[in-house]
Amino acid sequence: MQTKVENNKAWFLVMPVFLIVAFSAIIPLMTVVNYSVQDIFDPYTRYFVGTEWFKQVMLDSRLHEALLRQFIYSFTILIIEVPLGICVALMMPTKGRGASLALILVAIPLLIPWNVVGTIWQIFGRADIGLFGAFMSGIGVDYNYASNPTDAWLTVVLMDVWHWTPLVALLCYSGLRAIPEVYYQAARIDQASRWAVFRYIQLPKLTNVLIIGVLLRFMDSFMIYTEPFVLTGGGPGSSTTFLSQALVQQAIGQFDLGPAAAFSLVYFLIILLVCWVFYTTIMNMQKDK
């Protein structure tokens, strides 16, 4: 790492970013904090209730279930997407027209608006008009994501894998491109097996991008809202209701502003904590290099 010059005037350069993000981040955040300690009946009648909402949220079994589902979901997709993404990246051609084409095709799902992703799978999974649903029925599985919780889970996970594996793949692809050709030549001279090349040359070089990938995927899967909302609406029952959705249901559906705000803060803190751990790891690893 290059040494940086100590200069506090650099704050002037950062100021615009600070102001614009602060406007959209700090004011709403303080509003949430404000709600979380008050009981609000209407805009003019409100009482200070202290930590009551927080206690209530911590003990709410619905939220515990949503949190548990959220963790299971996030880990499931990480376990599938990371190895699959690495495999795809290893298979992608490195040069020429094929490389550009593969890159563009792989990236397509990332550029589709999230509710359209939900719509695509909503259509694709239906047994009457969708190919996937029809295929499942065709092989004799009684598949219906709208009424069977297992099928709903399968579809939501499949949708996420379809949607976000490209991100991991592209990250790994860029990591692989950064490995100098000399390494491979050395491996060839040593008659290293394909596995050995992967294990001792490619994988170590991928650690950095993989951490970014895991971080982004963890964050985003923890915030997931639109896709399951469009696909299953959180059902059947509440089997695919993840944290965001439970939150929106409470805040807008039931208009329980206080508890919803307290819930928001707890939710945000969990994400922040995990991400801080990841971020410090990345920064320390870069320092070591």
Partner 1 sequence: MTQLKTSMTRHNTGTKEQAPVYSKAERKTRNAHLRGRFGLVLYLVLLLLPIYWLINMSFKTNTEILSGLSFFPEDFTLANYAKIFGDPTWYMGYVNSIFYVSMNMVISLLVALPAAYAFSRYKFIGDKHMFFWLLSNRMAPPAVFLLPFFQLYSSVGLFDTHIAVALAHCIFTVPLAVWILEGFMSGVPREIDETAYIDGYSFPKFFVRIFIPLIRSGIGVTAFFCFMFSWVELLLARTLTSVDAKPIAAIMTRTVSASGMDWGLLAAAGVLTIIPGMLVIYFVRNHVAKGFALGRV
Site for partner 1 in 169-228 (CB under 8 A): 170-171, 173-175, 177-178, 185, 188-189, 191, 194, 208-209, 212, 219, 222-223, 225-226
Among 53, 54, 73, 124, binds partner 1 (CB under 8 A): 124
Residue 252 interacts with partner 1 (CB under 8 A)? yes
d(CA 264, CA 267): 5
Residue 130 interacts with partner 1 (CB under 8 A)? yes
238 to 19, 94, 226, 249, 256: CA distances (angstroms)? 40, 45, 15, 11, 19
Return the bridge partners of 48, or none: 38
Q: Which is nearer to partner 1, 200 or 276 (CB)?
A: 276
Q: Which is nearer to partner 1, 68 or 285 (CB)?
A: 285
Footprint (CB under 8 A) of partner 1, residues 36-75: none
| Contact between residue 159 and residue 166 where contact means Cβ atoms under 8 Å apart | no
Among 63, 66, 77, 243, binds partner 1 (CB under 8 A): 243
| Contact between residue 227 and residue 114 where contact means Cβ atoms under 8 Å apart | yes
Among 57, 63, 106, 156, binds partner 1 (CB under 8 A): 106
Residue 262 interacts with partner 1 (CB under 8 A)? no
Return the bridge partners of 45, or none: 42
Q: Which is nearer to partner 1, 8 or 61 (CB)?
A: 8
Q: Which is nearer to partner 1, 49 or 99 (CB)?
A: 99
Among 60, 76, 78, 162, binds partner 1 (CB under 8 A): 162
Structure tokens at 16: 């615009």
Among 42, 128, 140, 284, binds partner 1 (CB under 8 A): 128
Closest CA to 247 of 235, 234, 236: 234
d(CA 199, CA 197): 6
Q: Which is nearer to partner 1, 28 or 237 (CB)?
A: 28
Torsion angle, alpha carbons of 76, 81, 84, 103, to 10: 160
